[in-house]
Structure 1
Amino acid sequence: MAETSSETAERLSGKRARMLFVLAAIFLSQQASYFSSRHDLVSSAGHFKIAAWVVLSAVLLLMLATGGAWFRSAEVRALLNDETTREHRRTGFANGFWAACLTAIGIYVVDLFEPVSGRDTVHIILTIAIAVAMLTFARLERHALRDG
């Protein structure tokens, strides 16, 4: 029996909410390993780590901005991007913005006592902002799905 577009969208919205938590955990654990290890930016391994972070960050931002489901029909994507989801996404981005601002203030204060490189500053701010936006969006989507 073929699944209707609304059934597909409902199934995918549940998966999306669960996957956002998983992706946020993976993203944050990668960053923890990045900052806990010594990285040589002139080596190819150092360049690979930075490139992987940039690509993953861009994909996660694109997924947050569009809701994902890029390979689904326009009808399914429209059903996945309903008014409630758009509001959850806006709240996620707003929380990510505030997290970025507060992180920048924190790094500014830390830099008064211990120098922080510009590259590390950008890395920390973007990582925190993306993670907070993802986790906020995922939490709101899960609550909406649970409440029915």
Structure 2
Amino acid sequence: MQAYDSDVLDAFVLRCALSEAFDVNDPRFASTMEAIDRELLVDDLVYRYRIDDIMEGDGATFAACAFWHVGCLAMRGKFDEAQSLFDRLPARGNDLGLFGEEIDAATGEHRGNFPQGFTHMAIINHALRVDRKSLQY
């Protein structure tokens, strides 16, 4: 059994921010977003975390995290960056526009549960967040 480091960066913190568990404008969250961009972001996709875990095989990006990233950018007032990222992400879906749970950053292959409702819910939620007129932040 592997011991886990309590200082592991986990992109689930983005979901916590979207749930308003803490203020997205807090400097500590800004620092966390910078760390996510530096350590977990690959092109327009986001790894949930990057540690060896009990799962077999190479890790892949967690598709919902990419859309959570969009939402957090929008909540922080970075609308142009959020819109640009949101505009690129649909190309990561399959020919029907569906997303799997994970996407291999190198090959674009969808892995895990397919189609993934959690990811599709994130797409809808953050399409609304990117629309500047709907924001109340």
Common fold: TM-score over 0.5: no
User: Which structure carries more relative contact order (alpha carbon 8 Å, separation 6+)?
Assistant: 1
The structure whose Rg is larger is 1
TM-score by length of 1: 0.28
